[in-house]
Amino acid sequence: MPELVSNERVGRSLLREEVSERIKRYILDNRLRPGAPLPTENELCAALGASRSSVREAIKTLDALDIVEVRHGHGTYVGGLSLSALVEGLTFRGLLSPDDEFGVLSDLVAVRELFERGNAADIVGALDAEHLASLDALVDRMDRGDDPVGADRAFHALLVHPLGNELVSQLTDAFWDVYTTVAPHLGLPTDEHDTVALHRGIVEAARADDVDTFTKAVVAHYAPIRLRISAARA
């Protein structure tokens, strides 16, 4: 049986969380952007009314979440606010519990499809000739076997990029990272024999400015992935 956590450790944890919240509030109140420098450790202690050890522990916690970035020898800065913590959490969950991760993978695929299918009209309307040419080039890379997994990832990132929705773009990349890390561990391939034709169908529908066909092409693209996950879970 695990040992009970001491009252002292609980107190330290609560204090670290409180100081972490104060640092986040400081960033918001001062409208600091990613990459902006934070005050020195001594200045933070004075501004937050916290001890040096509490500030250090809070900074470590926020650094792990990419809310702040510690640059050794240079200071502490507002972080890139990436979704790296989400990726690591979902990936670890899958590697720790394969049965559960089949459900997580299924959910990730459903959300990725929803981003593209639900925004079909906006995506088709936003893809210009340059975007379409770039998508064609990525499909050609898949066809040549030139890093097909990397080309596949770049394809879907570029597909949603014209939406101008940074959160959708970040989540698309994050979910892709989780899938390509965990799927091989569970015995699922990360590509498929007809992937070139499926991706080319998406581009052709977008070029024809045909939202209905684009939507069907997106559904057709994700259907084999769904089937592989279902078969693996059976």
| Segment 178-208, tens digit of pLDDT | 777 777 766 666 555 588 999 999 999 999 9
DSSP 79: -
pLDDT at 92 (0 to 100): 58
pLDDT at 10: 36
- Given a cut of 70, the residues of the chain with pLDDT beneath it are 1-14, 81-101, 185-193, 234
Q: Concatenate the DSSP letters of all residues of 158-222 into one string.
A: HHHGGG--HHHHHHHHHHHHHHHHHHHHTT--SS-TTHHHHHHHHHHHHHTT-HHHHHHHHHHHH
What's the Cα-to-Cα distance from 217 to each of 114, 153, 206, 225, rounded to whole Å? 13, 17, 10, 14
Q: In this structure, which long-range contacts are made by residues 162-166, counting pairs with CB atoms below 8 Å and at least 24 apart in sequence?
A: 162/123, 162/126, 162/127, 162/128, 162/131, 163/119, 163/122, 163/123, 163/126, 164/126
CATH architecture of 7-78: Orthogonal Bundle (1.10)
* pLDDT of the residue at 181: 75
pLDDT, tens only, 46-57: 888 888 888 998
* Angle, CA of 95, 148 and 205, to the nearest 5°: 110
Domain limits, the chain: 7-78, 84-233
Q: Which of 39, 49, 47, 53 is nearest to 11 (CA)?
A: 53
- Determine the topology of domain 84-233 in CATH: Four Helix Bundle (Hemerythrin (Met), subunit A) (1.20.120)
For residue 188, what pLDDT is reported? 67
pLDDT of residue 8: 43
Phi/psi region, residue 209 (left: phi>0; alpha: psi -120 to 50; beta: rest), is: left
